[in-house]
Structure 1
Amino acid sequence: MIYRIDARIVAPVRDTEVTDRVEDAVRSLFPNVEFEHRPGELVGETHSLERFSERLHEQEILETARTEFFKRADDEGFSFALKKQAAFKGVINFAVGNPDELGDIHVHVTVNEPDVESYIDHVAPPTEDGRPVDPDERA
């Protein structure tokens, strides 16, 4: 299956932070991101969440990811926020509740092909007993 997406990533850059470090933190989760520097923030775009998906599998947080993705999903795509502090360590930690003092990384994914649910299933497949399940194999 061919997946076509556009992901927009916005990361605040505080006066106390080094822009390159914030860039590196985001790249640890989204290595193909291309950045535009704006006052007080980095705005990036990528067309792949493959590395992000690998990290979700490695950290065994697929169900958490699915919950976050579907919370803010519509026919066009989905959004989620990540803790910037965790990203500095290459770790995915979804931001829920109050924003971190460093600010959260906001990601909006527009799914062009095939559809939002199929893409979420690709990035964070459903699980049974903590193991990813191919939706085609469930009967």
Structure 2
Amino acid sequence: MECEVRVKTQIKATENPRRVLESVLNIFPKVKIKEAEDSIQGEGGIEVLEELRESLEKRRIRSTARKVLYENITGNRTIFYLNKQAAFIGKVNILEDEMSPLGDIRVEIMAENLKEVIDWLAPRIEEESD
């Protein structure tokens, strides 16, 4: 399964660039980082999403993530945002739109078979019966 992942966040004047970098790496430790003066950008393949996938499962927010990923599909890509402050403490808070005053982490996933990637990242939760 192949995909291209792009991660980007702005560094505001009031933020410590090292802390912003740490926020990104907490969720995407395998991303290849490119630092600029006012932003941090990263790219990679499916491996970049492994930590995010585990976090979605641990926090039991796969169905929310799945909904956001599917709602934001345009062609062969989907875009979502992660709260930067939550990411700094290693928590995943997935958002449909950029909301935080300091900006969020923008994540773009592109793939020929995007639905397969989404199904891997945030699998449908089977209802358990008693």
TM-score, scaled to structure 2: 0.89
| Cα deviation code 1:62-84 (max 9, x no counterpart) | 00000110111133121101111
Q: Extract unaligned runs of 5+ from structure 1.
A: 131-139
Distance 1:57 1:104, change over 3 A: same
- Bigger drift between 94-103 and 65-74 goes to 94-103
Percent identity over paired residues: 30
- What displacement does 1:58 show? 0.4
Say whether residues 1:56 and 2:56 are aligned partners.
Answer: yes
- The aligned residue for residue 121 of structure 1 is 119
Distance 1:67 1:88, change over 3 A: same
> Is contact 1:35-1:43 (8 Å) kept?
yes
Counterpart secondary structure, 1:4: coil
Following TM superposition, the consecutive aligned residue runs of length 4 or more in structure 1 with deviations greater than 4 angstroms are none
TM-score, scaled to structure 1: 0.84
Distance 1:30 1:97, change over 3 A: closer
- What displacement does 1:129 show? 3.4
Counterpart secondary structure, 1:9: strand
- The aligned residue for residue 133 of structure 1 is none
Equivalent AA in structure 1 for residue 6 of structure 2: R
Q: Extract unaligned runs of 5+ from structure 2.
A: none
Which one has the bigger strand percentage? Answer: 1
- What displacement does 1:97 show? 5.5
Distance 1:31 1:94, change over 3 A: same
